[in-house]
Structure 1
Amino acid sequence: MSVIKIVETVWAISAVCLVVLVLLHSPKGDGLGSFSGQAQLFTSTKSAETTLNRVTWVLAVIFMGTTVLLSANWLTP
């Protein structure tokens, strides 16, 4: 498997996960987090929101970094 295919796979997975995480965020209500039982996974809603924010930021950085790598053609031999 080439490096380009690996980066494309990471890019696609991060895009899908990013969409799901953004949908799980709640503006002031439960959002779509109520469907997954998200509130039961954490001890408080504050820790759940903090964890969602951190994971979302990490995935956003991964997505943007792989987008730059793929669009700039820095990985081509």
Structure 2
Amino acid sequence: MNISTLVQLIWLFSAISLIILVLLHSPKGDGIGGIGGQAQLFTSAKSAETTLNRITWALTIIFMGLTVILSAGWLPR
């Protein structure tokens, strides 16, 4: 296993994890509940949401960085 294959595996893992984490996020919009004022009934700052945001941003940076490295051809084959 060379370095290029290892980087590709990390890139693939970060892509799949990023898709899963984005799907786990709660919606930010009020939706139809905002019409009757019900949207503010359940709004509270949650630690889980903050942690989920931080992990998502970290995986996004890893994914984008590896995308640039892999597409530029900077790694030996």
Normalising by structure 1, we get a TM-score of 0.75
| Superposition CA RMSD, Å | 1.8
Look up the match of 2:58.
58
Measured after TM superposition, the shift of residue 28 of structure 1 is 4.4
Instruction: For structure 1, list consecutive stretches of 5 or more residues without a partner in the other structure.
Output: 30-43
Q: For this pair of structures, how many residues does the alignment match?
A: 63
Look up the match of 2:34.
none
Look up the match of 1:46.
46
Look up the match of 1:40.
none
Alignment of 1:1-77 (within 5 A): 1-28=1-28, 46-76=46-76
Structure of higher RCO (CA pairs closer than 8 Å, 6+ residues apart): 2
Instruction: For structure 2, list consecutive stretches of 5 or more residues without a partner in the other structure.
Output: 30-43
Larger Rg computed on CA atoms: 2
Normalising by structure 2, we get a TM-score of 0.75
Measured after TM superposition, the shift of residue 76 of structure 1 is 2.1
Looking at structure 2, the residues matched to 45 and 76 of structure 1 have their Cα atoms a distance apart, in angstroms, of: 46
Measured after TM superposition, the shift of residue 27 of structure 1 is 1.0
Looking at structure 1, the residues matched to 2 and 57 of structure 2 have their Cα atoms a distance apart, in angstroms, of: 27
